[in-house]
């Protein structure tokens, strides 16, 4: 078993934009070790989101191979992909994607609904631990609409952490936040990376923030440069 959380080899992905075929990824290869934190940087339309969607098992490549946790994504059924996303991957979305009718703790607990083996007590402990890590334990019973943008993103991060995944993918997690809050979120992600065993891949086009990350993967025209 290799020490790679992600291994993407010669990945191609295209999609249609009207009548035009757009090659979003062109033979991209990438490796990310367990516990590593890397930033994925590129201009708008460079293929960052397409790559994150493939690495997050939300989509399949047209060509090439992607292994997450040493398992080939392209060979998996929809059910297996769902299990992989639920157990091994944590997502942090640019738009937070919190369910407005659920309290903070319920939003964080959302992926744990599929963890039948966990008791209610264990779930509660995991949720509170995740909220404590992101500094929102006091807001556990708040509704998302009562939270600021930065707090909402912290809830989304707690939701990504709560399943204790091997890989956390963050798609422009600071894009909707002001500069101060964005820095705080990156600090938090760095801190979590140092404490957790999980690998982090954060996409961003904010050069200032990227400057703080040790490994930067630059993507241009569908390949890593």
Partner 1 sequence: MKRFFWLLRLASLNLLRNSKRNLITGIALASSFSGILLFTGYVVWVEKYLRANTVFVNQSGHLLISRPNGLEDQLTKPRTALLKKDEQEKIEAMLKGDADVLAVGKGLQSMMMIIKDCRSRGVIAIGRDEGIDRLSLGQPDVLKWDYELLKPEQIPVLAKFRQVSPKEAAVFPSPILQKFIDRKTSSKQAGCEESANGSLQLLGRTTTGEVAATDGRALGTQSTGLAILDERVIYMPVKDLQTFIETDSVGYYTVYVKSLLALPSVWKRLHEDVKASGLDLQIQPFFSENVGLYYIGSVGFLGTIAAFFVLLVSSVVGLSLFSLFSMSVTERSMEIGLLAALGFPAKIVIWLFEIEAVLLCLLSLGTGLLVAIGLGDLIFKQNIRFSPPGIAGDTHFTIAWEPWVMVVIGLTFLLVSYVSIRIVTVLKLKRSALSLLQDAGTL
Binding site for partner 1 (CB under 8 A): 53, 56, 58-59, 79, 82-87, 91, 93, 95, 97-102, 110-111, 113-114, 116, 120
Q: How far is the CB of 207 from partner 1 (least distance, A)?
A: 26
Cα Dmax for the chain: 53
Q: How far is the CB of 222 from partner 1 (least distance, A)?
A: 17
Q: How far is the CB of 70 from partner 1 (least distance, A)?
A: 19
Q: How far is the CB of 102 from partner 1 (least distance, A)?
A: 7
| Beta carbons within 8 Å of 216's beta carbon, 6+ residues apart | 38, 39, 41, 210
**Which is nearer to partner 1, 42 or 165 (by Cβ)?**
165
Q: Strand order of the sheet with strand 63-68?
A: 20-33, 4-17, 63-68, 71-72
**Which is nearer to partner 1, 98 or 189 (by Cβ)?**
98
**Which is nearer to partner 1, 48 or 85 (by Cβ)?**
85
**Which is nearer to partner 1, 123 or 183 (by Cβ)?**
123
Structure tokens belonging to residue 13 = 């992905």
Q: Helix or strand or coil: residue 154?
A: helix
Q: How far is the CB of 78 from partner 1 (least distance, A)?
A: 8
Q: Which long-range contacts (CB under 8 A, 24 or more apart) does 77-82 make?
A: 81/57
Strand 71-72, strand 63-68: pairing: antiparallel
Q: Residue 140: which of 152, 128, 154, 149 has the closest Cα?
A: 128
**Which is nearer to partner 1, 96 or 139 (by Cβ)?**
96
Q: How far is the CB of 121 from partner 1 (least distance, A)?
A: 13
**Which is nearer to partner 1, 118 or 224 (by Cβ)?**
118
Report which secondary-structure segment, H or E, holds 160: helix 149-161
| Beta carbons within 8 Å of 117's beta carbon, 6+ residues apart | none
């Amino acid at each position: 078993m290799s020490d790679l959380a992600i291994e993407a080899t010669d990945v191609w992905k295209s999609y249609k934009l009207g009548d035009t075929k757009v090659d979003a990824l062109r033979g991209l290869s990438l490796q990310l070790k367990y516990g590593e934190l890397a930033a994925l940087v590129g201009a708008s339309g460079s293929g960052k989101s397409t790559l994150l969607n493939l690495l997050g098992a939300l989509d399949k490549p047209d060509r090439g191979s992607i292994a997450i946790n040493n398992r080939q994504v392209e060979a998996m059924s929809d059910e297996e992909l769902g299990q992989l996303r639920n157990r091994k991957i944590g997502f942090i979305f640019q738009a937070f994607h919190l369910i407005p009718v659920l309290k903070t703790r319920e939003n964080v607990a959302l992926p744990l609904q599929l963890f039948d083996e966990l008791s209610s007590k264990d779930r509660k402990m995991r949720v509170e631990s995740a909220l404590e890590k992101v500094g929102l334990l006091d807001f556990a019973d708040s509704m998302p609409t009562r939270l600021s943008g930065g707090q909402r993103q912290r809830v989304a991060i707690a939701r990504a952490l709560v399943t204790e995944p091997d890989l956390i993918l963050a798609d422009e997690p600071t894009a909707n936040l002001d500069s101060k809050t964005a820095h705080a979120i990156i600090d938090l992600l760095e801190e979590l990376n140092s404490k957790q065993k999980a690998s982090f891949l954060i996409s961003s086009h904010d050069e200032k923030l990227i400057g703080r990350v040790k490994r930067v993967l630059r993507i241009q025209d569908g390949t890593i440069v």
